[in-house]
Amino acid sequence: EDQVTQSPEALRLQEGESSSLNCSYTVSGLRGLFWYRQDPGKGPEFLFTLYSAGEEKEKERLKATLTKKESFLHITAPKPEDSATYLCAVVSMNTGNQFYFGTGTSLTVIP
């Protein structure tokens, strides 16, 4: 069964303290892995798509990487405005187009 697990559930960082969020997955053939940011009371906002192991994508302080079993979202020198819930979703070859979401990591960056 396709599954997505995100860790940690919650993370508190001091401003400038770099860290990583994890998204581990078990799917039969990965079609794509997606990272989203969700602010309270809003819908998820697209960040990155990764398609194959070894791929990396970068945007400002965020960098997403992908292996055959997991993806990391690295946050370098975070700022308070990076506080949000980060969601990971995967699409497998088996299910065609259905997105399987993790429960997210709630990130708080303290000034």
Contacts with other proteins, residue ranges (CB under 8 A):
4, 31-32, 34, 36, 41-46, 49, 51, 87, 89, 91, 95-103
Of residues 70 and 76, the one with the C-beta less far from other proteins: 70
Quote the least distance from Cβ 77 to other proteins, whole Å.
Answer: 26
Q: Please report how close the Cβ of residue 31 comes to other proteins at its closest, in angstroms.
A: 5
Q: What is the 3-state secondary structure (H, E, C) of 47-102?
A: EEEECCCCCEEEECCEEEEECCCEEEEEECCCCHHHCEEEEEEEEECCCCCCCEEC
Q: Compute the distance between CA of residue 111 and CA of residue 103 in angstroms, rounded to an integer.
A: 26
Nearer to other proteins, 77 or 93 (CB): 93
**Residue pair 20/73 in contact by the 8 Å Cβ criterion:** yes
Q: How far is the CB of 30 from other proteins (least distance, A)?
A: 11
By C-beta, is 21 or 87 nearer to other proteins? Answer: 87
- Residue 61 CB, nearest approach to other proteins (Å): 20
Q: Which of 83, 89, 86, 91 is nearest to 104 (CA)?
A: 86
